[in-house]
Every structure is written in C-alpha cells, then in structure tokens.
Structure 1
Amino acid sequence: WEYKVKTYYTECRDDYVRVNNTASYMIALIQNPATVNGWYMFDNTAENASQEFLVKNETLYQQLSHIHGDLGNLAVFGIRTRFDEDDPTIKRLEFYPAALSMELSDYLDDGPISIPRREAFQIYIADIMKLLAKDAGITDINVEIRAVTVAGDVFSVERYLADSLRRNPTTNAPITTDLQNISAHFRFEFDRLISHELDDPDSISKLTPIYLTNDKYFLDAFDLITELDNPLFARMVHNYLRWRLVATYINDLPYSYVHKHREYLSAYYGYTLHSTNEDYCT
C-alpha cells in the first residue's frame, strides 16, 4: 500500500504541480524568430490567409539547425557516435534513420490493427494542435482546418519515410563516407549543420570519415524534404518538423496535453495504459 500511495501521489503531483497550466513556454519557443520562427498553425490566422500554403517559410537548413540541432529532436535522421569498425579506439559520427512515431507496419498495412492506429495517431495530432491554438489565443474560424491539415501532413511525411524503410530495410552495416560527399549527394548542408551542432566544430572536417546507415533511405528522405520550392511539400515538411518538436516534449506540457497523449497510447495499444489524473489524486 505504501508503494501504491507513493506512486499515485507522484503521478498526481507531476500532473498538477510540475507541469504548467498552459503551454506558454512551448508556444513562445515556436513563435520566437530566433528559434523555430513560427508555425503554420499560428501564422495562417488572418482572415484572408491561405489555409493551403505557408504564409512564411524557411530554408531546410534554418529549420533543421534549430529543431534538430539546438532543440535536440529526432526528425528524419539521428546522429550518434559509433566505434570505428577497424579501430576500436576511434569513434565516428553515425547518421541513421529516425523519423517515425509508430511501428513501420502501421503506416503501410491495411489490417484491423494498423488502420485504427493511424486514425488514432492523426486524431491525437489534431487534438494537440487545437490545444496549442487555444493556449496561444488563436480563435479564427479555420483552426480546425489547420489542425487536421497538420495531422495529415505529419502522417503523409512519415508514411513516405516508412515506405522507404520497408523497401530499404536498415541493417547494422553502415557505409563509410564524409560530410562533403553526403552534402553533395543529398543536396543538403550536412557539413554546416554538424558545425552548428557540435560544441567544437573544429573536431571534424568535411573529409573526416563518418558512418551512414541506410544510404537509400537518406536518398529518398532528402528527395522529399529538399523539395521546398513545391509549396505543398514545403508545408508538409514544415509541419512534420515542428510536430516532432512538440511530440518530443509532450510530457513536459500541461496535464491536458499529457492526458491526450495517454488517450492516444490507450487507443494505439487497444487497452488503457494510464488511469486518469482524477483517479490518481482521489
């Protein structure tokens, strides 16, 4: 009983005390021009604003340098260290796929498990978007449209990446390359991004050997996310990257967000994983 009381007390305290009443910090981070610099969900609120295309957009580097680099989110790919295959005294940077929120099959299969899961995923995203809009004081008539659009965009990008991973399964055998080569091959400034992300940018040069896991996936991924001249793709990538930020820190947001996340997990797995906050506190 003592263990149960401590457990329930911790859950109650975490929901009501540790977590703020509004998502003001996350909203400020998103709207700060020096960080995320806005979101379609917040920016397209004017009466005559397009609900189809972005009002403002950034380069892929600008978005990834903040969301992937400064804020530490896994979006499209991840970066870690790995011991050199030939010399265990040396560590190399490794780039690897890290893009999905669900099991790969849930994006692509049409069975009785996968279909409800992807429906629950998109409902969850739309619900979180509406909570963010409410906390940001956004009340225009198109809030619901944008929330559903964000959910659809996130799912579409992740489904595309899931399809690539199904066609090109990731193995534990990376290829050896360098930042100069992958920057040219994937048409993205990896050398600049790594210089931005590392505390000591001089610790690695463009020609320092690195590991790349699943090069075919990276080719597919960057074929999509570098197509920012296409306004539809620009919006999809923009929404996907910002959602990955919110999803990473969902449990640091107020109880209303945490509760939506718990509801989603229960819907995803088909049974209740968490009691309600009221149950814990009672």
Structure 2
Amino acid sequence: MTKYGNARNRGLAAELKNLRKDAGLTLRQVERKVGISIASLSRMESGLRPITAVTASALLATYEVIGPVRARILVLAKEVNLSGWHETDGEGLPLHLGALTGFEAEATLIVHAAMLRIPGLLQTADYIRTTLTALGFPAQKRAEVVAARLERQKVLLGPNPPRYLTFIDEAVLRRPTGSRALMAAQCQHMADMAELPHVEIRVIPFECGTHAGLDGSYTWMEFAKNPPIVYLELTQSSMFRDAEHEIRPYRETTDKLMAAALCSAESVKFLRRFVSTFGKE
C-alpha cells in the first residue's frame, strides 16, 4: 500500500477537508492563498495524494486552526507513513470522529457488525442519550455526541448514499435500553430504514448459536478509489486498520455472518415483531 493510501493519510485528508469547510473556504480560495492547484488540493482531500507536514501546516494556517487541534493534526502528518491508526480519546468528541465522518461520506459500502448496541448510523436520538447516560457521559458531552451522531446519519439519506449493510445480534434487541416505548421506536426506525433500497439489516437470532461476530463489533468500509478500512471503537479509544493482513479476517467474518443471519426480509419481520412486543404495556 502506498503511504497515501493508508488510514492516516486518508484520515488526515478527511479532517483537513472538514476544516476547510468549517472555515468557509472553497478550493479556489485555498488555491489563491496557499499556491496549490485545485486539482492537487482535490486529490489531497480525496486521499489520493500524500500530504506532507509542511503542506498540512500551511493549510492549517489558512484555515486559522490553532491550539490542540493544530498540534494533533501536525503529529498525524509527520506519522503519515505508519500503518494503522490508534488514538485515545480526550474530554471532547472522539478524536477519530472527523476522519470517520469523512470515510463514511466517501465509502461505497459500509458494513457494520453490531454485537453490543444498535449501530450508530441507525440509532434514534433517545437511544443515543440513554446509552451515553448509562456510560456516565456528562450532560454537555452527551449533547455534543448526540448532535454529531445525528449529523453522521445524514450520509444514508443523501443523494448518493453508500450501500449500508449491518448485522445485529438478537441480544442487542433484547437488552433493555431505556423504556419499552424507546425500544419500540428504535426498532420501528430500523424497520423503516431497511425499506430504503441501499440499506440492508440482517438480524442474527439466538437460534443461530455461537457465530463469528461474537469476537466483537467492527465497521468495514470500501471505497471506489482506495483500499478498504476497518474501524474499531473501543472504550475511550478507537482505531483504524488498513493493512491487508489486518483487514482480511474481517472480510472473512462478514462472509460468515452473511451465512448465519436471517435474510433482509425476515430480519424486517423480526424487527416489527419487536415493535409489537415492546409496544405492549
């Protein structure tokens, strides 16, 4: 894999693209300020061209990014040749969030194996708040995470959405999260989302027994012009894996889950039965 095809450079590209947009600048305006052609900037932001620390520094200055954000991105730019990418979260939003949002927006396929909770792109606002409260998130951080996650979900509702496939273990649906009404609304939301042509939800019922997904949740993303990436979200940290030998097991696990799960039509029926069950007082 070329150094600019790995997760670090592509994540750096996604974050710089987000910062440019936050600064309200077009590629043409950046071209005039920094002296880098629009074509080169576009390839950088797509992860198709390497971004050096010098270039990153110039772009950050143009976007008026200072403080901890600038320092972290410059470290990322200096370590861009390293495979994989792991970070420990601080007090604010997860450090990988900008890159993850960018990857989801560029992906042609997103596969989410959800063994513990409803996948983030399908969570209702009430489900997110309840989960974060149970995890002990302070009120201010809860509000930030809810807003950020709901913003991420727009990727499935845009004009050119990726194909989205998720495997959900039955335990995720049976574990009480908040009120019965909340769970009924959550299951209804997923059933409704599954009606979209690009969204496929596959439930893995208890009767399936032990299956390959029980080793842990993961998100697999494929792209039109770049190699796939696997995202792992851990307690207070997260990581991207990009090396072929690291992501191959997740491809194999996805194939095994396809064989173990209910088909999409049966999965939707499964979800609607839960809506009825949770709706009963």
Give TM-score, length-normalised by structure 1. 0.23
Q: Which has the higher contact order (CA 8 A, sep 6+)?
A: 1
Q: Scaled by the length of structure 2, what TM-score is found? A: 0.23
Bigger fraction of residues in strand:
2
